[in-house]
Amino acid sequence: DETSSAHAIQAKWQKYWAENETFLTGGDDDTRPRRYVLAMFPYPSGDLHMGHAENYLYSDIVARFWRHRGHNVLNPIGWDSFGLPAENAAIRQGADPREWTYQNIAQQKVGFQAYGVSFDWSRVLHTSDPEYYRWNQWLFLKMHERGLAYRKKSAVNWCPNDQTVLANEQVVDGRCDRCGYEVVKKKLTQWYFRITDYADRLLDDLNQLEGFWPHKVLQMQRNWIGRSVGADVDFRIEGRDEPVTVFSTRPDTLHGATFFVVAPDSDLAAELAADAPAEVRERFQTYLEGVQKETDIARQATDRPKTGVFLERYAINPVNGEKLPIWAADYVLADYGHGAVMAVPAHDQRDLDFARAFDLPVKVVVDTTAPITGAMPVIEVDDEGVPIDTGALDDQNPASTGIALTGEGRLINSGELNGLSKRNAIARAIEQLEASGTGRAAKNYRLRDWLISRQRFWGTPIPMLHAEDGSIIPVAEDKLPVRLPSIEGLDLKPKGTSPLGGAEGWVRTVDPATGEPVLRDPDTMDTFVDSSWYFLRFLSPNSDQVAFDPAQAARWAPVDSYIGGVEHAILHLLYARFITKVLFDMGLIDFTEPFSNLINQGMVLLDGQKMSKSKGNLVLFQEELDAHGADALRVGLAFAGPVEDDKDWADVSTTGAQKFLSRALRIAREVSSPVDVVFDGGDAALRRTTHKLLSEAPALVEQTKFNVLVARLMELVNTIRKTIDNGANGAADPAVREATETVAVMLDLIAPHTAEEMWEILGHEPSVGLVTWRSANPALLVEDTITAVAQVNGKVRAQLEVSARIGEAELEALARGDERVIRAIGDKEIVKVIVRAPKIVSFVVKG
């Protein structure tokens, strides 16, 4: 039956590809243009699932396409094989994370091969191999040398369930992105990568990716980096020697500041409260305890009632000497800007909500009813700068409406700034601050440094030694890798400190330089370090001299097409961009963005729901493969909808796909013209359909419209069927062969086993995967064609399919180029040509 023959075909060609190493990347002497196609490498979490089926189908389509375009394609595969799931499985089953990991890898490898993915299997890497993670350690040392890896004590995100710290990027809506537990804050000394040094470049370079990455991803990265432009303003505090700096995006509103707010959990708040009366101190202490239990997300929510404690201290406004009461309130965050703000309730909603809750004054300094375009409006003000006619403004007084005036407008009540537009006033205010030495232009970012220490076993050991005097000594490069110890005798259960700390014989070592006893750093690296540069390792995967060969990087990188899920829009993609820029600064690569094109695929859902083991709604990859064969699964998925859309499994028709593939195979078997037949005649309508597809298909693939390509192939197969059944020459028509060969070559992208089989049946040598796509014949692309005749001495020698709008010169040229006309003319002399476009070309010859 169909399924068993599909399986036989599948097995035959998979064996062929493996034995012939068909998809091996060409070497340095290969002169074809190069193309690096990469799918985000998998985590070895168990069997392959439908998400993998989709992801690696798309990358395979792209890789196969470029081979057909005559490119030398690099399409490698590896495994992101360190990480928590292995460790958790090991804890649950009392097994070794190594065994769990490598067993899953072996299983997934079999899955990929059964799926017919055209990987270059000679370059496989696993991030958990010492041969790989040694270079993570090397990268760490380089980062350390450049001042980009440092240790600091700060309140970090802590997952109480996994008992490990998390990077900001791994906290989603206040919860651990792995287990969903609510994340708490904990003060710890940890290693960080200084990604904030690269914030401007990471943001600005996104512009060069516009049009090549999904816009949504670029926008998510922009928001994540979150650059705000404004000023730092220094406020003197009564009874304190040092001024306190605040960051503001609206220094134009300085005259409208009516109070001052510090984050309750900042050092400054503690210090100010310490000098306050006992009763204030107590109130503050109670408030702080409550605040420490809140998440940052909750604190930033705009719809919750404002709370705070007046500290009975005052800040002095540098522009007018006014005394501003200082409050501690949770809507100000300790680790953003400087953890303190000047509050301008008239023009900031949070400040206004707070002012209304605690009856603090509201002072309007921007008239948002005044036009800002055209001629400068005359705002009549009194001696104090207060507008005389405030009719329009009165209706919008924030103190009564509760709505802050955040729009454009003209400055009022602001001394020299009066009359200026918001934008000009910001610039002018910064000049004034700089002139008086009380402030300066400043930028602020939402992005924080990347916390990379993890208190877990299954990761890359941090190559640092701690001496008894507290100093930190990098492990020498030639002593790498620092290998993970055996799991024997180790307790992997989460307990808040790294399990490696319990490996006595491993942690205790000596500094080779001094012979002094030292302790190894017991933490391992965030696995996002592993994946931040792996695309470079594929270029020289077996080198024990370098992380990657710069010459190979110059040849192959950046990645031309990178394919993966949108869940990596921030984390992985941001880190990979960061490390790429660092490697560029080190002079090791000549590009600053790792992935020239990014394709995000949607998810495969079931009844509109995400598939998951816990929901019990998994459609199993292996079961589908067994039931329908790889090609039917691939065609079904490709046909189910646009790449970037989510697809419901209900819309994936593997049986429909199977029927289509059988139909395609059947026509290949029926083709009866010789393998070397010339394609210059035959059924004109079929030829037009074939050449239309030849001309459109490359753009369809480049625009990732794979579902449309499948639809077009289905149409073409139907047209071939009709021509065989009803055409004048049936299966012997050369147009039938031309069309069927076109199907085989294009079908290779989606259903490679069927394509190879068709190609062989049609009388060709394998592999169809390496056949160059034919180009379309422009003469056959014209929709409204007519048949023109070419005569030689009054006798019709050829019929030409031409555009109804063809010009005389073009028609004559076509006729002169036609084989049959050439034969008829032979070596006779053309004495006259009569052209009546679009119908007749008539040659008069002599001799």
Question: Could you give the angle at which helices 630-639 and 654-670 cross, rounded to 10 degrees?
Answer: 110
Instruction: Point out which span in 338-346, 408-416, 425-433, 616-624 binds ligand ANZ (CB under 6 A).
Output: 338-346
All residues at 6 or more sequence positions from 423 whose CB lies less than 8 Å from its CB, including other chains: none
Q: Is 353 in the site for ligand ANZ (CB under 6 A)?
A: no
CA 199 to chain centre: 17
Q: Is 662 in the site for ligand ANZ (CB under 6 A)?
A: no
Which DSSP symbol is given to 348?
A: -
CA distance 743 to 768: 11
Residue number, 268 or 755, with CB nearest to ligand ANZ = 268
**Closest-CA residue to 731 (of 686, 776, 779, 688):** 686
Burial of 397 (0-12, 13-18, 19+ CB in 10 A): middle
Rounded to a whole number of angstroms, the minimum distance from the CB of residue 40 to ligand ANZ is: 31
Residue number, 431 or 715, with CB nearest to ligand ANZ = 431
What's the Rg (C-alpha) of the chain? Answer: 35
Q: Which of residues 828-847 bind ligand ANZ (CB under 6 A)?
A: none
Rounded to a whole number of angstroms, the minimum distance from the CB of residue 38 to ligand ANZ is: 35
Site string for ligand ANZ, 241-280 (x = CB under 6 A): ------xxxx--x---------x-----------------
Which DSSP symbol is given to 774?
A: P
User: Of 162, 348, 367, 521, which lies in the binding site for ligand ANZ, with binding defined by CB under 6 A?
Assistant: 348
CA distance 531 to 42: 10
Residue number, 254 or 745, with CB nearest to ligand ANZ = 254
Rounded to a whole number of angstroms, the minimum distance from the CB of residue 235 to ligand ANZ is: 12
Tell me if residue 499 falls in helix, strand or coil: helix
Counting every residue, how long is the chain? 847
Instruction: Point out which span in 213-221, 330-338, 749-757, 758-766 binds ligand ANZ (CB under 6 A).
Output: 330-338
Which DSSP symbol is given to 372?
A: -
Residue 598: both structure tokens together: 């990014």
User: Of 78, 111, 337, 838, which lies in the binding site for ligand ANZ, with binding defined by CB under 6 A?
Assistant: 337
Residue number, 425 or 814, with CB nearest to ligand ANZ = 425
Q: Is 139 in the site for ligand ANZ (CB under 6 A)?
A: no
Instruction: Point out which span in 25-33, 303-311, 334-342, 476-484 binds ligand ANZ (CB under 6 A).
Output: 334-342
Q: Which residues sit opposite 563 in a β-bridge?
A: 39, 599
CA distance 779 to 721: 24
DSSP-derived pairing of the beta strands 175-176 and 171-172: antiparallel
Which DSSP symbol is given to 421?
A: B
Residue number, 263 or 315, with CB nearest to ligand ANZ = 263
Q: Is 368 in the site for ligand ANZ (CB under 6 A)?
A: no
User: Of 318, 339, 481, 522, which lies in the binding site for ligand ANZ, with binding defined by CB under 6 A?
Assistant: 339
Q: Is 317 in the site for ligand ANZ (CB under 6 A)?
A: no
CA distance 717 to 198: 53
In 113-163, the DSSP E strands lie at: 125-126, 149-159
Rounded to a whole number of angstroms, the minimum distance from the CB of residue 746 to ligand ANZ is: 51
Rounded to a whole number of angstroms, the minimum distance from the CB of residue 404 to ligand ANZ is: 7
Rounded to a whole number of angstroms, the minimum distance from the CB of residue 217 to ligand ANZ is: 21
User: Of 165, 183, 202, 342, which lies in the binding site for ligand ANZ, with binding defined by CB under 6 A?
Assistant: 342
CB atoms within 10 A of CB 50: 22
**Closest-CA residue to 257 (of 337, 315, 333):** 315
Residue 500 in contact with residue 455, Cβ under 8 Å?
A: no
Residue number, 226 or 698, with CB nearest to ligand ANZ = 226
Residue 660 in contact with residue 720, Cβ under 8 Å?
A: no
Rounded to a whole number of angstroms, the minimum distance from the CB of residue 347 to ligand ANZ is: 3
Residue the block writes with tokens 């006619």: 389
Residue number, 40 or 341, with CB nearest to ligand ANZ = 341
Instruction: Point out which span in 171-179, 341-349, 670-678, 835-843 binds ligand ANZ (CB under 6 A).
Output: 341-349
Q: Is 336 in the site for ligand ANZ (CB under 6 A)?
A: yes
Residue 678 in contact with residue 693, Cβ under 8 Å?
A: no
CA distance 450 to 445: 13
Q: Which H, E and C letters describe 520-563, residue by residue?
A: ECCCEECHHHHCCCHHHHCCCCCCCCCCCCHHHHHHHCCECEEE
Alpha helices (H) in 387-451, listed in sequence order = 391-394, 398-401, 422-436
Q: Is 228 in the site for ligand ANZ (CB under 6 A)?
A: yes
Rounded to a whole number of angstroms, the minimum distance from the CB of residue 151 to ligand ANZ is: 24
Rounded to a whole number of angstroms, the minimum distance from the CB of residue 569 to ligand ANZ is: 20
Residue number, 315 or 344, with CB nearest to ligand ANZ = 344
All residues at 6 or more sequence positions from 846 whose CB lies less than 8 Å from its CB, including other chains: 828, 829, 831
Residue number, 81 or 221, with CB nearest to ligand ANZ = 221
Residue 637: both structure tokens together: 């998925």
Q: Is 341 in the site for ligand ANZ (CB under 6 A)?
A: yes
Residue number, 345 or 522, with CB nearest to ligand ANZ = 345
CA distance 103 to 69: 37
Q: Is 332 in the site for ligand ANZ (CB under 6 A)?
A: yes
Rounded to a whole number of angstroms, the minimum distance from the CB of residue 346 to ligand ANZ is: 7
Rounded to a whole number of angstroms, the minimum distance from the CB of residue 233 to ligand ANZ is: 8
CA distance 757 to 669: 10
Which residue type occupies 77? I
Rounded to a whole number of angstroms, the minimum distance from the CB of residue 257 to ligand ANZ is: 7
Residue 492 in contact with residue 457, Cβ under 8 Å?
A: yes
Rounded to a whole number of angstroms, the minimum distance from the CB of residue 228 to ligand ANZ is: 3
Rounded to a whole number of angstroms, the minimum distance from the CB of residue 343 to ligand ANZ is: 7
Dihedrals phi, psi of 802, to nearest 5 degrees? -135, 165
Dihedrals phi, psi of 543, to nearest 5 degrees? -70, 130
User: Of 155, 203, 220, 333, which lies in the binding site for ligand ANZ, with binding defined by CB under 6 A?
Assistant: 333
Residue number, 347 or 581, with CB nearest to ligand ANZ = 347
Residue number, 400 or 703, with CB nearest to ligand ANZ = 400
Residue number, 336 or 679, with CB nearest to ligand ANZ = 336
**Closest-CA residue to 84 (of 151, 19, 176):** 176
Residue number, 243 or 642, with CB nearest to ligand ANZ = 243
Residue number, 263 or 632, with CB nearest to ligand ANZ = 263
Residue 495 assigned as binding residue = no
Q: How many residues bind ligand ANZ, per CB under 6 A?
A: 18
Instruction: Point out which span in 134-142, 332-340, 567-575, 779-787 binds ligand ANZ (CB under 6 A).
Output: 332-340
DSSP-derived pairing of the beta strands 604-606 and 647-648: parallel
Residue the block writes with tokens 């189910």: 640
User: Of 347, 363, 572, 634, which lies in the binding site for ligand ANZ, with binding defined by CB under 6 A?
Assistant: 347
User: Of 14, 22, 258, 444, which lies in the binding site for ligand ANZ, with binding defined by CB under 6 A?
Assistant: 444
Rounded to a whole number of angstroms, the minimum distance from the CB of residue 263 to ligand ANZ is: 6
C-alpha distance across the termini of the chain, in Å: 65
Residue 687 in contact with residue 756, Cβ under 8 Å?
A: no
Can you state the percent helix, strand and coil of the chain, rounding each to 5? 40, 20, 40
Q: Which residues are annotated as a binding site?
A: 613
For ligand ANZ, the binding residues (CB under 6 A) are 228, 247-250, 253, 263, 332-333, 336-337, 339, 341-342, 344, 347-348, 444
Residues contributing to the annotated binding site for ATP = 613
